[in-house]
Amino acid sequence: MTADTAAATGTATGGASVQVFVNGVARGAAALASAEGVWAATGLAPALVAGDVVTARQIVNGVQSAPSARVIVIEGAVRTIAVSVTPFTATVPRGLTRQFTAIGVSSDGLPRDVTATATWSGSNVPVAYVSPSGLATGLNPGTVTVTARREGVSGAASLTVTGAGVVSLAVSPAAPLLFVNQAQQMAVTGDSGFPGSSVRIRRRRGPRDGGR
């Protein structure tokens, strides 16, 4: 757990309710831990001051835990104490992209968009490439963890890449010229959006097609 001025953050059981204690007395509203267990209690009033001793207790299924390790507040510059990445889970077809956003909670208790200043990475490069701006491009089917890190703290999300989907259709020939009673075979090609990848789409045959 870390604490500074008007905020405290730490990790707990996912979905747990976390109460912050300052010098042994509950302060501020209980915080709710995210699915990945990260919690941030902001707007602690009165604000924390140097020398305050901060602990936290989590409540799971109505049972309160013992106090966490103590954190003693010291004076210092405003810094990032927690980072969360949204969306927490996402799915994208191969060849397409998904933008992730990083929100940092500062030691002054204020949330800030740190997408542009965070360092982004992906856990499985063959599955997806994550750009320095948090834009993930699906390369091959699989799952990858997308991480944003800033000032020594990080948050993560999960991205699943599926098989290529069809993002556009092209009909050929585009403008056929036909005489009366003349037939023309048409073709439809689907573009997956992935360079060099396309698929020929056939009409589904039914009973009325006579097996043709």
Output the domain CATH number for residue 134: 2.60.40.10
Tell me: do 52 and 99 sit in the same domain. no
Tell me: do 140 and 127 sit in the same domain. yes
Model pTM score: 0.52
Tell me: do 101 and 154 sit in the same domain. yes
Residues forming beta bridges with residue 138, ordered by sequence position: 128
Q: What is the pLDDT of residues 72-127, one digit of tens each?
A: 776 666 788 889 999 999 999 988 899 999 999 887 677 889 999 999 999 999 99
Enter the tokens of residue 137: 């491009």
Percent of the chain with pLDDT over 90: 42
Parallel, antiparallel, or unpaired for β 89-93 and 168-172? unpaired
Q: Which residues are within 8 A (CB) of 106 and not within 5 positions of it... i.e. 6 or more apart?
A: 7, 78, 79, 80, 81, 112
Q: How far apart are CA 161 and CA 179, in angstroms?
A: 47
| Mean per-residue pLDDT, 147-166 | 90
The pLDDT of residue 40 is 85
| H-run or E-run covering 94 | none
Report how many domains make up the chain. 3
Tell me: do 98 and 139 sit in the same domain. yes
- Residue 49 to residues 3, 75, 89, 124: CA-CA distances in angstroms? 10, 8, 37, 43
Q: Please answer whether residues 120 and 99 qualify as being in contact, where contact means their C-beta atoms are separated by less than 8 angstroms.
A: no
Tell me: do 157 and 173 sit in the same domain. no
Tell me: do 140 and 186 sit in the same domain. no
Tell me: do 56 and 90 sit in the same domain. no
Domain harbouring 57, CATH code: 2.60.40
The pLDDT of residue 39 is 85
Q: What is the pLDDT of residues 68-87, one digit of tens each?
A: 988 877 666 678 888 999 99
Tell me: do 52 and 6 sit in the same domain. yes
Q: What is the pLDDT of residues 176-195, one digit of tens each?
A: 787 787 887 888 776 665 55
Tell me: do 61 and 86 sit in the same domain. no
Q: What is the pLDDT of residues 41-67, one digit of tens each?
A: 877 888 777 788 899 999 999 899 999
What is the residue range of 198's domain?
168-209
